[in-house]
Amino acid sequence: MEFSEVFWDSTQQVGYISNIKGLYPVFLDHHLTFEEHPKVLEAIVTGENARRILTQDKAVTISEIEQILSTMYPTANVTVVNSAIGDWLSDPVFRGSFIDYSSDLRFGDFERLGDPIGNLYLNGSATSVNFAGGAYFAGRETAAKVIGQLKPSKAINEHTNIFIVLLRILWDMLT
């Protein structure tokens, strides 16, 4: 959701505790993360609430979110000026998947999940070292690892061709 002004706390995530399980428990602050989205909060919804939201009118969802944020920030002008609702459940790219960490997660597990196997570099939201669940950042981290392994001139051309082929495959999957 995009707002006309930033009224929320200057943290990466803003939590909300409700008596209804999975009802907007976390808001992700895109204002701190993405300079191109300076006034954007992403609401996370899980379980049955996620299914419910997919079937209700978008205006109802926005009203729910504005009401919750107004409760959290009573002196703020909480008005959504632009919004989008993603459908992870039916989107064939995601098929309802969402990362959830186990309680026995240990320091260093993210690094091990993202360790390359030979020349195969793995990536995904679970591999982000600095941002749990941050697929965007995981992609940047993995790209930096790959670029760091490239040798000048000929190797760069060979790797670039492979990268272009992989991008084309990914593009075909997404479109």
Q: What is the pLDDT of residues 125-164, one digit of tens each?
A: 777 766 655 677 777 778 887 877 776 555 455 555 566 6
Please check whether residues 12 and 74 belong to one and the same domain.
yes
pTM metric for this prediction: 0.59
Please tell me whether residues 78 and 15 are part of one structural domain: yes
At residue 130, the pLDDT reads 64
Query: What number is the average pLDDT over the span 114-119?
Result: 80
Helix, strand or coil, per DSSP, at residue 27 = strand
Residue 91 maps to a domain: no
23-70 per-position pLDDT tens digit:
788 888 877 766 776 788 888 887 788 888 889 999 999 999 999 999
Q: Say whether both 166 and 124 belong to one domain.
A: yes
Secondary structure class of 44 (helix, strand, coil): strand
E strand or H helix at 110: helix 109-113
Q: Are residues 62 and 126 in the same domain?
A: no
Q: Is residue 166 part of a domain?
A: yes
Q: In terms of domains, do 15 and 73 share one?
A: yes
- Separation in Å, CA 163 to CA 70, 79, 116, 157: 46, 42, 16, 10
At 127, the amino acid letter reads: T
Same domain, yes or no, for 78 and 113?
Answer: no
Q: Is 80 exceeded by the pLDDT of residue 110?
A: no
Beta bridge partners of 80: 3
Largest CA distance in the chain: 60
Same domain, 6 and 74: yes
How many domains is the chain built from?
Answer: 2
21 lies in the same domain as 77 = yes
Does some domain include residue 99?
A: no
Whether the pLDDT of residue 92 is over 80: the answer is no
Q: Are residues 114 and 73 both part of a single domain? A: no
Res 171: pLDDT:
63
pLDDT attached to residue 118: 82
Q: How far apart are CA 78 and CA 71, in angstroms?
A: 10
Q: What is the pLDDT of residue 146?
A: 80
CATH number for the domain spanning 13: value is 3.90.660.10
* Residue appearing with tokens 């186990």: 102
122 found inside a domain: yes
In a domain, 94, yes or no: no
Range of the domain at 117: 109-174
pLDDT at 100 > cutoff 70: no
Q: Say how far residue 35 (Cα) sits from the centre of its chain.
A: 15
pLDDT, residue 83, reads 92
How confident is the model over 7-23, as pLDDT tens digits? Answer: 888 777 777 777 777 67
Return the ∠ at Cα 80 (arms to 53 and 18), rounded to 5°.
Answer: 50
In a domain, 47, yes or no: yes
Q: What is the mean pLDDT of the chain?
A: 76
Cα–Cα distance measured from residue 134 to residue 34, given in angstroms and rounded to the nearest whole number: 12
